[in-house]
Structure 1
């Protein structure tokens, strides 16, 4: 594999895209309000992410997999995402996404947004509907940080040439191990810990930070 000049790793929900996918899926179950409240608490760091995710996924039990098609029609890419990924590629970089969200949606969305590699959770399905459980290990804060480091190693990118972009508490470890941690559309605790804070909700603002 050809070495990359640098690596940019983004969170997905409320960073790469404007939505929180689990809330869109919860709409299919008529349980958006309770899931939204739990999501916001997790992103503020008030409760453990893995525990929160399991409880929120449990609320999705019974949603048919056919509902994913409706969810996909509601996904809104964050303004500036195409410009950012194009700029990364023009400069010899690689774009990764590591998400506490779900492969079932990201597998469709990521390629069209210029993402080169991605990792997310998977939802267990039984008889064509969600079981209410996560399939496999949960992608939490530690997994996000480990993914960035592993990808950098695979690509021959030194840590100082990595950039992590996120908005929630579960992005903090990833941001701390990167050469540059950028808080984007972020919660107060994340803004306080980040190397830099991007205020406007437009990812093209990050282009100026690229090597």
Structure 2
């Protein structure tokens, strides 16, 4: 890439992809109903993100790590996500992923889309099985915001050349700190606070909102 002219940071679950990976993992663990109910409430902003994540991850204890191959093969990119990302990259706009989901999935997604910058939660694994615990820093709403700022400063970009796209309550701080925050097929809690909405699940709808694309 030549000189970076802008930055677009995207949420993953429910934004870049159609599914919530933790709910798919819950299905494999036989706890889908319980987990998806907690996910819905967390994304609407009704529950603290970190404690609700720890609770959901605890229900995955005992799953083999081979589950990630199975889950990765069942997720779907949002319509035109790949095209959107490649057009940004051709215009020297760096694309980064910041996810409250999990690194085994997000790392593969990033690689498949030629994205070098990504951040996601790490699940603890012992002897090939999930322990039901997380390791390292949790990708909380505050960490999502801080990651966008870190990447922006790394490339010496002004705020107005940053875009953040997300759908859940945990994306609010990140969207607010970008030059352009976009609530993408978002929960009401986000739409109330973020003026720019895309309500059709198609990434081509995002282009008209980005004013620094040549």
Scaled to the shorter chain, the TM-score interval is over 0.9
Matched, 1:100 2:100: yes
Per-residue CA deviation, residues 14-46 of structure 1 (Å, 9 max, x unaligned), is 001111001111111111110000000000000
Corresponding position of 2:32? 32
Contact 1:24/1:71 (<8 A) preserved: yes
Alpha-carbon separation, structure 1, partners of 2:84 and 2:192: 24
Corresponding position of 1:186? 186
Alpha-carbon separation, structure 2, partners of 1:122 and 1:33: 23
Matched, 1:167 2:176: no
Residue 114 of structure 1 deviates from its aligned partner by: 4.0
Residue 195 of structure 1 deviates from its aligned partner by: 3.0
Matched, 1:79 2:94: no
Worse-superposed segment, 193-202 or 46-55 = 193-202
Per-residue CA deviation, residues 40-79 of structure 1 (Å, 9 max, x unaligned), is 0000000100000000000000000011111111010111
Corresponding position of 1:18? 18
TM-score scaled to structure 2, two decimals? 0.95
Corresponding position of 1:137? 137
Structure 1 residue runs of 5 or longer lacking an equivalent are none
Alpha-carbon separation, structure 2, partners of 1:24 and 1:30: 10
Per-residue CA deviation, residues 74-108 of structure 1 (Å, 9 max, x unaligned), is 01011110111112112220001100000011111
Alpha-carbon separation, structure 2, partners of 1:175 and 1:123: 26
Structure 2 residue runs of 5 or longer lacking an equivalent are none
Contact 2:2/2:92 (<8 A) preserved: no
Residue 113 of structure 1 deviates from its aligned partner by: 2.5
Q: Which runs of 4+ in 1 moved over 4 A?
A: none
Contact 1:180/1:195 (<8 A) preserved: no
SS of the aligned residue for 2:182 comes to strand
Per-residue CA deviation, residues 95-139 of structure 1 (Å, 9 max, x unaligned), is 011000000111111222343310000100011100000111100
SS of the aligned residue for 2:206 comes to helix
Alpha-carbon separation, structure 2, partners of 1:98 and 1:3: 22
TM-score scaled to structure 1, two decimals? 0.97
Aligned length: 211
Matched, 1:116 2:116: yes
SS of the aligned residue for 1:122 comes to strand
